Chain A
Amino acid sequence: MPRILIIEDNQESREALARRLQRRGYDIVEAVDGQQGVKLAKSEKPDLVLMDMNMPILDGWQASQLIRAAPETEELPIIGMTAHALAGDREKALEAGCSEYLTKPVDFPQLLAQVESLIRAGGSSRPPGDRPEKPATSKTPES
């Protein structure tokens, strides 16, 4: 099952995204700020990162650069998201290493299409279900 790391400080946004992606069969790991996100990007080996750009402690631009700079995560696809697309936000996100960029609230079908194509392009060799069921940080779908 492809694993997606959601790095987002706003709890509602994070949960709603997580639940909708879990419903589509993705394994979700959540981080509440950029610092935790960079750490989990290394330890949890996600196939893709959904990154909010405006966050406390370490913002999405800095976190994306750190993910790109580390050898074990340099190829990891990142989709950047901001609530208000100010002029230059998109460019800044791409410069920081994001592969794609979306404005919140994300258009979910479009997000899914990008997620699928990026994971496929990333040559993820793991078919869904290949990965052993996993750790405390990853949330299970609510029943």
Chain B
Amino acid sequence: MTANEIQISATADGGVWDSARLAELNRSGLLDSAVEEAFDRLTRLASKVLRVPVALVSLVDEDRQFFKSQVGLPEPWATQRETPLSHSFCKHVVNLKQPLVIEDARDHPLVRDNLAVTELGVTAYAGLPLATHNGHTLGAFCAIDQQPHHWTGDEIDILKDLAAAAVTEIELKLMAAEAKRHAAAAEQANLAKGRFLANMSHELRTPLNAIIMYSELLMEEADESGAGRFVADLETIRSAGRHLLGLINNVLDLSRIEAGKFDVLLESFSIQPLVEEVAATIRPLVEKNRNQLRIHCPSEIGGMTSDVTKVRQILFNLLSNASKFTENGTIWLNVSRGARVGLEWLAFEVLDTGIGLSESQREKLFEAFTQADETTTRRYGGTGLGLAITKHLLQMLGGEIKVKSSPGKGSAFTVQLPSEYIHQPADQSQNSQQADTRETLSPNTRSLSADPSLLTRAR
């Protein structure tokens, strides 16, 4: 092959200036990177085993070759760690995509005019392509002698193995770089999702608020102006609006929980008033399906330290599910206190005589967006997020949930919560700040947390 032919093939696919090859070389992050032992031990080995003064890991860029590793180069090249392509034999390996073995460069048509011969004293050269699994030859692993050298088959085999080891290191860099890019992209996507949800929340709720507010307003005015026959229809609009709002809020809650943006606000509160309040709120839902609600909460049950808003939402979610999936039946809420592994726990048990769950349904119960099956969604509605949210909330409060059920016989959900929940301080640094905020806010927090509008969000 003549020098002219090489010049031509250099512009073709896979040659030095192949853009995909150059892109991969850049992605590897190896150009101008620091010296690394993983590569240096390979060049050292080559020099010693083959008894040659110089060995290189040369990465061929568009206008230079960069030495990721070198032994035995004369100055200034050793310090600069690069030469122009005018001084490169390795560029030919990249163009050929094959080993280049030269016994005496001064007689070789391809390289006899190469400046490396005169300025670097390169006489004999054996270079192996550094080819990645994508088929790009990023450079060459080479051994250089300053006098004519007859390269034996064994020597070439050794160089092949060393080149393969260098390729493994290069692939590692590429994979690490790719993992980093993926992580960055995932983080970007997650941020975009968060922004989208925040915007969507606002954009969807503003008109929805108007629909709800005006239907409520019209209900009042219709009644007074003698148009009472519209009230039932207006109530349908209103309750559909509230329902839609509840669904949107559930989706947002879950995404916020997943983004770790749900704070835990600890306070001490009495359990009985909380249970009564939840019962009063849930009662219309219970009675809608002609169910009875039975509550067992002894007056000596006392208090607990937890996040009252989340406990309320958990109870509401469970009771709301029980009401939804039970008709002409009974729903029980039993509260009891017990000790386990040296701690006091409160058990909230929600039992129903509803449709129940099969074993396979129980397995998927706490996953987001899964209801028992699609006909459940059509018949009973909902997003299938209630129990996923419930489980997340319980995790935040150090609690757990168990379910027992058989089809047609009803379900029993048991929630266990520590009586005195203490945040793991090592867990998140934010928590200590929250505790401080709570100190200053506790008088108001109590009255605010009795906000029943939060309860509607569990629906």
Contact = CB atoms under 8 A, between A and B. Distances in A.
Genuine A/B complex: yes
Interface of A: 10, 12-13, 16-17, 19-20, 23, 54, 83-88, 90-91, 94-95, 99-108, 110
Contact of B213 (A12, A86, A91): A12
Nearest to B449: A90
Given A23-B220, A86-B261, 5 more contacts: A12-B214, A83-B205, A105-B212, A105-B213, A110-B453
A91 B91 CA distance: 65
Nearest to A109: B452
A100 B214 CA distance: 23
Contacts of B202: 54, 83-84
B252 interface: yes
22 contacts: A12-B209, A12-B210, A13-B213, A20-B213, A20-B216, A23-B220, A83-B202, A86-B256, A87-B263, A88-B263, A94-B445, A99-B444, A100-B447, A103-B451, A105-B208, A105-B245, A107-B452, A107-B456, A108-B216, A110-B451, A110-B452, A110-B453
B261 A17 contact: no
B115 interface: no
Given A87-B256, A94-B441, A10 B206 contact: yes
A68 B106 CA distance: 90
A100 B453 CA distance: 13
A12 B216 CA distance: 13
Nearest to B309: A90
Nearest to B207: A12
Contacts of A100: 447-448
A20 B261 CA distance: 35
B383 interface: no
Given A12-B210, A105-B213, A84 B448 contact: no
Given A19-B217, A105-B245, A106-B453, A87 B441 contact: no
A102 B451 contact: yes
Contact of A16 (B213, B441, B452): B213
Interface of B: 198, 201-202, 205-206, 208-210, 212-214, 216-217, 220-221, 245, 252, 256, 261-263, 265, 437, 440-441, 444-445, 447-448, 451-454, 456-457
A84 B201 contact: yes
A83 B448 contact: no
Nearest to B238: A105
B83 to A, nearest CB: 58
A20 B220 contact: yes
A103 B262 CA distance: 16
Given A20-B220, A100-B448, A83 B252 contact: no
Residue of A17, A87, A102 most packed against chain B (CB within 10 A): A87
Given A23-B220, A87-B263, A102-B453, A94 B444 contact: yes
B453 to A, nearest CB: 5
Nearest to A83: B205
A108 B214 CA distance: 12
A1 to B, nearest CB: 19
A86 B217 CA distance: 27
A35 B191 CA distance: 32
B433 to A, nearest CB: 10
Contacts of A108: 216
A104 B448 contact: no
A21 to B, nearest CB: 11
A75 to B, nearest CB: 16
Contacts of A88: 263
Contacts of A54: 202
Contacts of A90: 448
B453 A103 contact: yes
A54 B448 CA distance: 19
A140 to B, nearest CB: 16
A130 to B, nearest CB: 26
A83 to B, nearest CB: 5
B435 to A, nearest CB: 12
Contacts of B263: 87-88
Nearest to A142: B221
Q: Give the 10 A-B CB pairs with smallest separation, nearest first.
A: A16-B213, A12-B210, A105-B212, A105-B209, A107-B453, A87-B263, A84-B201, A83-B205, A94-B444, A103-B453
A100 B448 CA distance: 7
Nearest to B438: A91
A105 B207 CA distance: 10
Contacts of A19: 217
